[in-house]
Amino acid sequence: VAAADMVLDGIAGIGSSPGLRAPADRIVDAIAPGAIVVAVDVPSGLDADSGQLPETYVKADLTVTFTAPKQCLVSPEACHQAGEVVVVDVGIYPLD
């Protein structure tokens, strides 16, 4: 990732604990300055439910999320870490 022009972030999913630990934290630290980062569903390391910022997480330029925005993508604290957010309909609908 240190020489990449673009990085696809799928290190951790929404069910993982907030923050990234070794070896994932070293991968994040190695992302080249200026590389375009695209996150899948949420930027890795962010707390998808609360939007609280942990010590180590991925800062994305674009986040492609599914069905609906997760809390961290709209929370005042974390929304700036997701970049542009695109919601994709994958045919899963919330229960009423």
Instruction: Name the CA dihedral angle for 57, 85, 31, 25, rounded to a multiple of 10 degrees.
Output: 20
Q: Indicate if the pLDDT at residue 88 is higher than 80.
A: yes
Residue 96, pLDDT score: 65
Write the pLDDT tens digit of every residue in 53-79: 899 999 999 999 998 899 999 999 899
How many domains is the chain built from? Answer: 1
Can you read off the two tokens belonging to residue 79? 């929304």
Write down the H helix ranges in the chain: 24-29, 71-74
Domain of 15, CATH number, reads 3.40.50.10260
Name which residue leads in pLDDT, 80 or 18.
80
Give pTM, 2 decimals. Answer: 0.89
54: domain range? 6-88
On whether residue 65 sits in a domain, the answer given is: yes
On whether residue 96 sits in a domain, the answer given is: no
On whether residue 10 sits in a domain, the answer given is: yes
Write the pLDDT tens digit of every residue in 3-48: 999 999 999 878 788 889 899 999 999 999 999 999 999 999 999 9
On whether residue 39 sits in a domain, the answer given is: yes
